[in-house]
Chain A
Amino acid sequence: MTESPVLSVEDLTVAFDTPRGTLTAIEELSFEVRTGETVCLVGESGSGKTVAGETITRLIPTPPGRVLNGSVRFDGYDLTAASERELRSIRGNRIAHVFQNPQGALDPAYSVGHQVAETIQLHEDDPRAEDRAIELLDAVGLPNPGRAAGQYPHQLSGGVKQRVVIAAALAADPDVLIADEPTTALDVVTQAQILRLLAELQAERDLGVLFVTHDLGVVAEVADRVVVVYAGRVMERGPVDAVLSDPAHPYTRALLASLPGRGEGMEPLDGSFPDPQDRPAGCLFHPRCPHAVEACRESVPDEMAIGPERTAACIYYGPDFETSELDDEPGFDSSGSEDEPGFQASALDDQSDFESSDPEEDSR
C-alpha cells in the first residue's frame, strides 16, 4: 500500500480552555488514512481519540477547543484553516461521521427516511432524495426499506438505528468515514453485524475509514493499520497483525496484557491515566511503565522506526538502549495492584468522551 493518503493528519495539537485551566487533549498527533483501508485509533478513555476524529472536520466546539498546531490535509485543503463554508461542503459530502450512540444521533421528530434524505439534500438539490434514501436503507440491510423509511427512531432497535445512521453517513457518497466507537453501544451480536456491514460498504465504495475504538477485539477484526494513542500522543503504530502479535511499546503490551483470556490472563494496568492539566514530563506513559528509567522522565521519546510501516515512541528503541531489556518483564508480574484496585479493570471501559479526563469518573 504505497498510494498517497486521502486524509492525512500532521502534528495535530488540540487543547480545551476550561475554568480549571487549559487541557491538552491531543499532542502532535499524526496519522494518515488511504483509500480503501481502515485505520484504527486505539486508546483508553480520555486518550483523545474522539477529539482527534472530531477535529478532522472541526466538529469540536471552538471555543473552548483550540487547534494549537498541526494540519489536517484532505483533497488539497488544510481543514484546520478551512472556512466554515468549505467545511460544510466537506462534512457529510466528502468526510462523514458515525458516532457512538445511535439513540441520540437520530432526530426523534423526523422519520428515518427523511433523515437519510436530509444528508443528500444538504449537498445537492435532488428531488429523488427520498427514493435514494430508501435505496440506502436497503443497502445497509434493512429488511423492508420502504416501510422503514416512514418509521420514527423510537420505533427501531439500536442495531437498526445504527444502520440508519450509517445509511445517512454514506448518503452523500463520502470518500472518508470517521467511525467513532460505532458498535460500543450495541450488543455483541449486533456489533458483529454492524462491523460486517461497514466492511462490505467500505469494499463496495472504496472508503477510507478512520475507526476510533477502545476495543482491541474490534481492532483485530476491522483494522488494516493501528495507531495506539495514550493521553493524546502516539505510542505505537503499524500494521494490525504486527502490532497485535508483537507489540513493541510497553503501553501496547500492557493494553494487550490487560485483556481477558490472553496468555496468562488479565493483567490490569497499574496507576491512573494522566491528569490532562498536569501531564507528566517526558514520556507520558512513564509513571505507569514497568520499564521506566530516569531518561523517560526527561524528554519525550521520538517515534522510532522499528519495522516496515512500524514505529514506537519508546526510549528503548533508541540508540542508547537494548530492546531486549523490554522483554525482561521486570514489572508485569510483580508489583501487584495495591493502589486503586477498583480502577484498572475499567481502564479500557466504554466511554470515550474527552470530557472524562479523570479515569476514576469513568469507572462508574
Chain B
Amino acid sequence: MGLLLAVDLTLRGPTEPLLGTWEPRLVDWLLLLSVVLFLGYGVLPLAESDRTRQRLWTLIRSRPALAASVVWLAIVFGFGTVGSIVLGTPTKQFDIVYQPPAFLSRDPTFQSACVGPVADGMCQGSLAYPLGTNVYGEGIGHLIVSGMRVVVTLTLVTATILISIATLVGTVAGFVGGRVDALLTGYVNVQRTVPAFLVYVIFAFVTKPSLLVLIVVFGFLNWGGIAHVVRSEVKAVREAGFVRAARSAGAGRLHVLRYHVLPTIAGPIAVATTRQVATLILIEAAISFLELNDIMIRSWGEIIASGMGQFFPLNWWVVLGPGLALVATVVAVSIVGDALRDVFDPQGVA
C-alpha cells in the first residue's frame, strides 16, 4: 500500500490510472488507510478475543435488531469499499429517465421512453432497473451502492480522525493531569463552541465544496466530546486498584496505559464515536439538501435532494430508496454503538 501511495504521489500523472482503471484521489487513500485501521485495530482484536467474540455472538442472538443492524452495516461496508469499485459509477442514460421500480407502474405524467412492458397505457417497471431510475436515467439501486461508498468514506475517515485525536488528547489530559490537563481541557472547551457546520459552510463558499472538506472540518472540530469522555474515563481508571496493583508489580506508565487503561476505555470511545458518526451522516444529508455539497459526489443526501424536484412526489422511488438506506444506516450505527458498549463492558454479560 505504501508503495502504491508513493507511486501515486510521485509518478502518476493527473489523469493517468494507477492500476487498471483505478484512479485514486486523496480521499480514496484516506479511506483505504481508515479501512486498514478499522479492520486492524477494531475488527481484528474483537474477533481474536474469544471472550468478546462470544459476547458479541450472545448479544446478536438475543437482539434481532442488532443482528439486522450488523448485517446492514456489513452490506454497506462491503458495497461501499469493494462493491462500488467493481460496479463503477452509474451511467447517465437520458433516453430512459424515470423508469418505475420493478412490478410497479408510474404516473402517465412522465413522457419518457419505457424500458419495461406497457400495460393499460401505463409504463411498468422492469428487472433491468429493479429500483427504477432517476432524472438522468441512472439506476437507483446502483446509486444507492455508490452512496454507500460515500457514507463509508465519510464515516470511517472521520471516525479515524476523531478517535485518534480524542484518544490522544483525552488520555494525555487524564493520565498526566495537572497543568497539561487544564490546558488541554481548556482548549477543548473553547474548540467545542465552534460549530463545525458553520465552518464547513464558510469553507464551502471560500473553496470548492467537497467531501474531503466535510471530513476534515468535522474530523478536526468534533473530537472534543469524545476527548472529554476519554479524559474522565482515564482519570477514573488511573485511580483504580488494578492500576495500583499493576504498578506495584513493576509495570511502567506505558504498560499501564496500553494494557489496563485503553482496554477499559475502548467501550466509551466506541459509543461516543458512533453517536458522532450517526449525527454526521445526517448532517451530510442536510448539507446535500441545502445544496452546499459537491454535487458530483453521489451521496444519499444528494440523490434525495435531486429527487425532490418538479415531479415529486410522483417520482417517489427516487427519494424513498436512498432515504430508507440513510435511515437504516443511522439507526444501525446507533444500535451497534450500544451493543459495543455492552461488549466492551468488562463486567458485562459473560
Q: List 30 A-B contacts (CB under 8 A).
A: A59-B244, A59-B247, A88-B250, A89-B250, A91-B249, A91-B250, A92-B251, A96-B248, A97-B245, A99-B244, A103-B241, A106-B242, A107-B242, A107-B264, A107-B346, A109-B264, A111-B51, A118-B246, A118-B259, A119-B249, A122-B249, A122-B250, A122-B255, A123-B250, A154-B346, A154-B347, A165-B245, A168-B245, A168-B249, A169-B248
A104: B residues at CB distance < 8 A: 240-242
Chain A 94-108 per-residue mask, 1 if CB under 8 angstroms from chain B, else 0: 001101010111111
Contact at B350–A122, with CB atoms within 8 Å?
A: no
A93 within 8 A of B: yes
| Cβ-defined contact, A92 with B248, below 8 A | yes
Question: Using an 8 Å CB-CB cutoff, how does the interface string of B238-272 with A read, 1 for contact, 0 for none?
Answer: 00111011111111100100011001100000000
Shortest Cβ distance from A100 into B: residue: B241
Contact A88 B240 (CB under 8 A): no
Query: Chain B, 318-332, contact with A by CB distance < 8 Å: what is the 0/1 string?
Result: 000000000000000
B residues less than 8 Å from A168 (CB atoms): 245, 249
| Nearest-Cβ distance from residue A120 to partner chain B, whole angstroms | 9
Give A residues with C-beta under 8 Å from B: 57, 59, 84, 88-93, 96-97, 99, 101, 103-109, 111, 118-119, 122-123, 152, 154-155, 165, 168-169, 171-172
Partner of A155, one of B242, B247, B255, B350: B350
Q: How far is the CA of A168 from the CA of B241 in the complex (A)?
A: 14
Q: What B residues does A152 contact at CB under 8 A?
A: 51, 346, 350
Extra 11 A-B pairs, beta carbons < 8 Å, given A99-B248, A107-B246, A154-B346: A90-B250, A92-B250, A101-B241, A105-B244, A107-B240, A107-B264, A119-B249, A122-B249, A123-B250, A154-B347, A169-B248
Of B242, B263, B346, most buried by chain A (CB within 10 Å of CB) is: B242
Complex interface: chain A residues within 8 A of B240 (CB): 104, 107
Residue of A nearest to B346 (CB): A108
> In the assembly, what is the distance between CA of A35 and CA of B246, in Å?
25
Q: Chain B contact residues: over half helix, strand or loop, or mixed?
A: helix
Smallest CB–CB gap between A216 and chain B, Å?
26
Chain A residue numbers with a CB within 8 Å of B251 are 88, 92, 118, 122
B250 touches A99 (CB 8 A): no
Query: Considering the chains assembled together, what is the distance between the CA atoms of A88 and B253 in angstroms?
Result: 10
Quote the shortest CB–CB distance from A281 to chain B (angstroms).
34
Closest residue of chain B to A165 (Cβ to Cβ) is: B245
Residues of A within 8 A of B246 (CB): 107, 118
8 pairs of A and B residues whose beta carbons are closest in the complex: A104-B241, A108-B346, A92-B249, A92-B250, A97-B248, A107-B242, A91-B250, A105-B245
Contacts of A57 in B (CB 8 A): 248
In whole Å, how far is B235's beta carbon from the nearest beta carbon of chain A? Answer: 13
Q: Are B241 and A93 in contact (CB under 8 A)?
A: no
Q: Which of B200-245 contact A (CB under 8 A)?
A: 240-242, 244-245
By a beta-carbon cutoff of 8 Å, the part of chain B in contact with chain A is 51, 240-242, 244-252, 255, 259-260, 263-264, 346-347, 350
* A281 CA / B316 CA spacing, docked (Å): 88
Contact in complex: B242, A105 (CB < 8 Å)? yes
A103 vs B346: C-alpha distance when bound (angstroms):
13
In whole Å, how far is B258's beta carbon from the nearest beta carbon of chain A? 12
Checking A91, A92, A101, A109 against B346 with a beta-carbon cut-off of 8 angstroms, the contacting residue is A109
Most chain A beta-carbon contacts within 10 A, residue among B241, B242, B249: B249
A91 touches B248 (CB 8 A): yes
Distance in angstroms from B341 CB to nearest chain A CB is 14
Q: Which residues from chain A contact B259 at a C-beta distance below 8 Å? A: 118
The answer to whether B245 touches A99 (Cβ under 8 A) is: yes
Q: Which residues of A contact B263 (CB under 8 A)?
A: 109
Report A-chain residues with C-beta under 8 Å of the C-beta of B248.
57, 59, 91-92, 96-97, 99, 169
Known: A59-B248, A91-B249, A108-B347. A99 touches B255 (CB 8 A): no
Q: Give chain B residues whose Cβ lies under 8 Å from the Cβ of A123.
A: 250
Min CB gap A100→B, angstroms? 9
Q: Which residues of B contact A59 (CB under 8 A)?
A: 244, 247-248
Q: Closest Cβ of chain A: how far from B243's Cβ, in Å?
A: 8
Provide the bound-state CA to CA distance between A105 and B241, in Å. Answer: 4
**Complex: A108 Cα to B252 Cα, angstroms:** 19
Q: Which residues on the B side are within 8 Å of A89 (C-beta)?
A: 250
Given known A-B contacts A109-B263, A109-B264, A122-B255, A96 and B244 have beta carbons under 8 A apart: no
Q: How far is the CA of A84 from the CA of B252 in the complex (A)?
A: 8
Distance A165 CA – B246 CA, assembled complex (angstroms) = 11
Chain B residues closer than 8 Å to A165, beta-carbon distance:
245
Check A91 against B241 for contact (C-beta < 8 Å).
no
Most buried by B among A93, A104, A109, A169: A109
Q: Which residues of chain A are within 8 angstroms of B249 by Cβ–Cβ distance?
A: 91-92, 96-97, 118-119, 122, 168-169, 171-172
B250 engages A107 (CB within 8 Å): no
A93–B250 contact, CB under 8 A?
yes
Chain B residue contacts of A155, Cβ below 8 A: 350
Q: Of A93, A106, A111, A172, which one neighbours B245 at CB under 8 angstroms?
A: A106
Complex Cα gap A119–B249 (Å): 6
Contacts of B245 in A (CB 8 A): 97, 99, 105-106, 165, 168
In whole angstroms, how far apart are the Cα atoms of A71 and B248 in the complex?
Answer: 19
A119 touches B250 (CB 8 A): yes
Please name all residues of chain A whose beta carbon is closer than 8 Å to the beta carbon of B244 when the two chains form the complex.
59, 99, 105
Min CB distance, A160 to chain B, in Å? 16
Select from chain A the residue with minimum beta-carbon distance to B241. Answer: A104
CB distance from A126 to the nearest CB of B (A): 14
CB contacts (< 8 Å) of B260 on chain A: these are: 107, 109
> Which B residues are in CB contact (< 8 Å) with A90?
250
Q: In the complex, A107→B346 CA distance in Å?
A: 9
**How many Å from the CB of A340 to the closest CB on chain B?**
31
Complex formed: what's the CA distance from A152 to B51 in Å? 10
Nearest-Cβ distance from residue A157 to partner chain B, whole angstroms = 15
**Shortest distance between the CB of A99 and any CB in chain B (Å):** 6
Question: What separation, in Å, do the CA atoms of A299 and B67 have in the docked complex?
Answer: 75
Instruction: Tell me the nearest residue of chain B to A91, going by C-beta.
Output: B250
Bound Cα distance from A123 to B263, whole angstroms: 22
Q: How far is the CB of A170 from chain B (nearest CB, A)?
A: 11
Distance to closest chain A CB from B151 (angstroms): 32
B176 to chain A, nearest CB (A): 12
